[in-house]
Amino acid sequence: MKNKKLTKAQKKIVEEVESIRIRALLYLRERTELLIKRSEELLSRIDSTGTTSNYSVSSDIYQIAEDVYRLELRLAELGLIKHDIEYGNSKKNCEINKV
């Protein structure tokens, strides 16, 4: 698929979307590393104390995992937006090709 010729405004939007994607990617990495750390801590507690340990009903692992999921979704959506701007709206192109 060929890149379409972008206007200055479209180029600026693509740059801004890419900047947002980079920030989201960095935050995704940070949250994923924290998820791994918390999971390793939990595994260590399971191995060392088993059922004698007090496990938290308000563990932050679930929240961190949700953050990871949401960030991946955000990156996918931003990628589609960038693609649509650079190559034209694929949905419109598909409808035109059907006619």
Band (pLDDT 50/70/90 cuts) for residue 88 is confident
What pLDDT is attached to residue 91?
58
At residue 33 the predicted structure's pLDDT band, cuts being 50, 70 and 90, is: very high
- Specify the pTM: 0.75
What length does the chain have?
Answer: 99
Res. 50 pLDDT band, cuts 50 70 90: confident
pLDDT at 94 over 80: no
Residue 18: partners with Cβ closer than 8 Å, 6 or more residues away: 82
If one counts every other C-beta atom within 10 angstroms of the C-beta of residue 21, the result is 17
